[in-house]
Structure 1
Amino acid sequence: MTPILTTLQNLKELDEPLHITIPTGDIIMVKQKGNVEFGNIKLMDVLYIPQFSCNLISIHKLTRDLNCMVTFFVDNCMIQDKVTKKTIRLGDQCDRVYVLKVASQGSSLATQFQNASTLWHARMGHPSHQVLSKLSNHLNFHFNANKLEGCDVCHRSKQCMLLLFLVIIKQIKHLN
């Protein structure tokens, strides 16, 4: 639900008006709906309620439409993709209400896989190209090593191993 008409795209009249009880206890009539897109979140059939003072998101509708899960903590909340477990959006608790953070322009908190090879690489626990090629033959899925995009997780894990190796070498030198 939103009170901001300019955020709605594809604004349409409802087939029949809805009567909604708002937090003040007043019953209002809703006549219009539209779609809202903010960052990587696209919500369909958002109700236009000019009497509201803020935007409200139905968790049920959000999780159903985006195929995501929402985890609430004492001070914050997190929206995650169900399949990839990637964070879509974060929110902070403020006055007993969870407020979603606005992603800065040009950045996205969610990662979308561009091809099936990259997706399989992530789902299988980031195995090497050779292992994925062998698995693809046995498990009947298509894997193309040439289409595998740079994997941030693999890159970082190799950096940690190198750092650990350098620390061990340094300790051995001190023992000698």
Structure 2
Amino acid sequence: MGQSGHSAVACPDSGASAHMTSNEGILVNIYISTQPLTVAVANGTNLPIMTVGNLTFPAMPGPLHLKFVFHVPHLKYNLISIQKLCADNNCFVIFDKSSIYVKDKISGEVLLQASSKGGVYPISLSHSQPIALISHVARGPVWHRRLGHCGRRILDKLKKSGPILSTSTFSHDCVSVD
């Protein structure tokens, strides 16, 4: 995964007591502490916390929020505290051998899924462009014309095969062969 200073990837960490990033550029609502703060890392050294901010990253159906994210410039990897992620977003986390799942605590709906790589579960914090797979549901009369003036029976059969068609407004005086 390399250095995270220029990366928008974070590793979920069940042992982390706070969210941490080396990339201040991904934070919003940044403030500087009036007292010097440090964080102890796994090798026993204390790294300075320069600022604290918030972070929002994409998930479905809506974004996940990380509050009080520490900006630690010399941190090797961005870290997401599992406990704080769950507390801030009313969710729970499930790990298996190949994926991590973040699920809504009430509905059980999957909010985020990420695959494991190299023994960790990297989560993208960057915003991707959404892609529209269906931009508009055409009404019955449009499909009637597209399909050579077919009858309602054919349109009803087509409607059952997927969400590409609405026949609710299908009423016209066209004579068709069924």
SS at 2:130 equivalent: coil
Please state if 1:43 is matched with 2:66. yes
Structure 1-normalised TM-score?
Answer: 0.56
Secondary structure of the residue aligned to 1:6 is helix
Q: What residue number does 1:63 align with?
A: 86
Report the identity percentage: 29
Structure 1: runs of 5 or more not aligned:
108-157, 161-176
TM-score (ref. length: structure 2): 0.55
CA contact (8 A) 1:92 1:101 kept: no
How many equivalent pairs are there? Answer: 110
User: Are positions 1:22 and 2:41 aligned together?
Assistant: yes
Amino acid at match of 2:104: D
Q: Please say if residues 103 and 110 of structure 2, whose CA atoms lie closer than 8 Å, have aligned partners that are also in contact.
A: yes
The answer to whether structure 1 residue 72 and structure 2 residue 91 are counterparts is no
Q: Whose relative contact order is higher, 1 or 2, with alpha carbons under 8 Å and at least 6 apart? A: 2
Whole-Å separation in 1 of the counterparts to 2:124 and 2:47? 29
Matched, 1:90 2:113: yes
Could you tell me which amino acid in structure 1 is paired with residue 130 of structure 2?
A: G
Supply the distance in 2 between the matched residues of 1:84 and 1:105 (Cα, whole angstroms).
Answer: 26
Q: 1:106 and 2:130 equivalent?
A: yes
Equivalents in 2 of 1:88, 1:54: separation in Å?
23
Tell me what 2:30 maps to.
Answer: 11
Q: For the Cα contact (< 8 Å) 2:37–2:48, is it kept in 1?
A: yes
The residue type equivalent to 2:38 in the other structure is H
Q: What letter matches 2:129 in structure 1?
A: Q
Deviation string 1:38-95 (CA, Å, 9 cap, x unpaired) is 1111111100011013211000000011000000101111001111211111122222
Richer in helix (by share): 1
Which deviates more from structure 2 when the two are superposed, residues 81-90 or residues 58-67? 81-90
Q: Over aligned residues, Cα RMSD in angstroms?
A: 2.1
Separation in 1, partners of 2:124, 2:27:
19
Counterpart of 2:13 in structure 1 is none
The answer as to whether partners of 2:22 and 2:74 remain within 8 angstroms in 1 is yes
Q: For 2:83, what is the secondary structure of its paired residue? A: helix
